[in-house]
Structure 1
Amino acid sequence: MTYAADLLYEEVAYLAHHFHWSLDELLDLEHPERLRFVAEAARLNGQ
């Protein structure tokens, strides 16, 4: 597995946990958009 794939799994798992979106919905997001949602989930959690 490559570094990029590891990060993708991490982003998808984080978003699925916080927003309960499906894998297909998460993978349909462009990377910058997915990162924005990761940042927003972290902000909501006070991280």
Structure 2
Amino acid sequence: MSRVRARVQRGRRGWAPGGIVTYAADRLHEEVAYVAYHFHWSWDSILDLEHPDRLRYVAEIARINTRISQGR
């Protein structure tokens, strides 16, 4: 089992996290890389976020990038 899948299924503290347990590993990597690139947070810090919170950060980063690219 991959490290990501094991962490998603088991959680950081050894118990199953709430929310989506079978989240696609590729999508998870994309989200973690995106947040890590922009905020310079560690892998563990990002994975410790609840799924909705991580998606919110992804959306906010995208909005900021859009505003910057449009010169606003």
Q: Structure 2 unaligned runs (5+)? A: 3-21, 68-72
Distance of 2:65 and 2:35 partners within structure 1: 12
Q: CA deviation at 1:26?
A: 0.3
Distance of 1:6 and 1:15 partners within structure 2: 15
Q: CA deviation at 1:3?
A: 6.8
Aligned residues: 47
Look at both structures and tell me which one has the larger radius of gyration over its CA atoms.
2
Higher relative contact order structure (alpha carbons within 8 Å, sequence separation ≥ 6): 1
CA RMSD, 1 decimal: 2.1
> Could you state the TM-score of these two structures normalised by the residue count of structure 1?
0.88
> Could you state the TM-score of these two structures normalised by the residue count of structure 2?
0.59
The structure where helix makes up a greater share of residues is 1
**Residue matched to 1:17:** 37
Secondary structure at the residue paired with 2:66?
coil
What is the percent sequence identity of the aligned residues? 70
Aligned 1:1-47 pairs, distance under 5 A: 4-46=24-66
Distance of 2:63 and 2:41 partners within structure 1: 18
Q: Structure 1 unaligned runs (5+)? A: none
Distance of 1:5 and 1:14 partners within structure 2: 14
